[in-house]
Amino acid sequence: METEIDRISNLPEHIVDKIMSQLSLRDAVRTSVLSSKWRYKWNNLPNLVFDDQSILISSQDQTSKKNKLVNIVDHVLLLHTGPIHKFMLSHRDIKGFNDIDRWILYLSRGSVEEFILDIWKDLRYKLPSSLYSCQKLIHLELFQCLVKPPPTFNGFGSLKSLDLQHITMDQGLFEHMISGCKLLERLILMNFDGFTVLNINAPNLRFFAIRGDFDDVSFRNSPFLAIVYIGLSVKIGYDQNLTLGNTGNLIDFFFQLPSIQMLEVKIHFLKYLAVGHIPGKLPRLCMKLNYLSIRINFNDKDQNLAVLCLLRSSPNLQELEILALPEEDMSPERVENIWLEDYYSCPFNQLRLVQVADIVGVQCEMDFINFLLANSPVLERMTVRPAFNYMRCELLEELELFPRASVRAEIIFLDP
């Protein structure tokens, strides 16, 4: 009788490594039963991910979830023999923080390049000082943490990507940390506590996203910043004294972004931009801006003027998304219409795609759409999504009567 060939045990090493890299940690450990040659293949995995998918705790173990989780992480780290490039801990059942301190200390003695900590508790986890010694870090994500670097910390020298969400941190420490990350290309900030005025000094920054209760955002040295998503919870009655100089927020903000290509203005950030002097056109045009998304209150004249200024200053804009604020007071008698005054003053020679959403059909909204159609000679498609379904037929009939600069322009209606 011929002996069956053990193909599993004799796979080439690079094939085994490829297989292991595609498995979750739980499944990678399970490969130990395949053969004696596979028993310890998992313990030199460079990427360790501890989340709900990779850690399976049965229902009968509910009373000892915390101990079970700690035991699993301890067991993996104890038996691990190779370098750890990525460590991710995303779990809801961690009760205390001492174990995380111990794991971070272990990682700091190696060459970890990617660290992700996603824990959600009532108290924010204070990061241990050992994390700040991980100078090989390239990607860092922190959720629900208190970040307080030691006085000797001068940033992460190799860091390229930083994601901070639900973080408490001092403004001075934050600015010092960011300025010390010279290679930083990607920065995400969501829901900060500790300060409200944000100054970014990151000379290599390419991508920036922010959402939260910030009063001011400025870039001191970000000449390559190309993609920006901003949503600020600017309050009604915003303090206009916070504007920089006498030029106004609109000029100051875009003067710092010579390379911007994609911009999303969410929540009430347009209200911030509309504070102060609003020129007919920016002193420095946004020559590279090709995608723009704006949430606007059409009942606010200053916001309308700010949008008009930005459109005039973006000669190469190719895609535009406008999101109305239907919850705002849209009384037509309160609106001073600016779109008819400058009806043919703003040709969009590159604009191909337009999306208009959440409109309620008031005159200022319709005049704005009319303005776009009349000034977009290469427009291919305008997608309209009204705030309410019953308005669809009425709006469509009115829009079909608007003159179009582009013979190819198509208007598509979507359900709310």
Percent of the chain having pLDDT more than 70?
A: 77
Ranges of residues in the chain with a pLDDT under 70 are 1-43, 53-67, 93, 95-96, 234-246, 326-337, 340-345, 390
CB-based burial of residue 307 (10 Å sphere; 0-12 exposed, 13-18 middle, 19+ buried)?
Answer: buried
What pLDDT is recorded for position 241? 47
Confirm if 256 and 222 have CB atoms less than 8 A apart: yes
Confirm if 212 and 233 have CB atoms less than 8 A apart: yes
At residue 315, what is the residue type? P
**98-108 vs 65-79: helix axis angle to the nearest 10?**
10
- Write down the domain spans for the chain: 1-45, 47-195
As a whole number of angstroms, the distance between CA 321 and CA 295 comes to: 8
DSSP 51-85: ETTT----GGGGGGHHHHHHHHHHHHHHH--S---
Contacts of 231 (CB under 8 A, 6+ apart): 210, 211, 212, 264, 265, 266, 267, 268, 269
Q: Tens of pLDDT along 256-313?
A: 999 999 999 988 899 999 999 999 999 999 999 999 999 999 989 899 999 999 999 9
Top CATH class of 47-195 equals: alpha beta
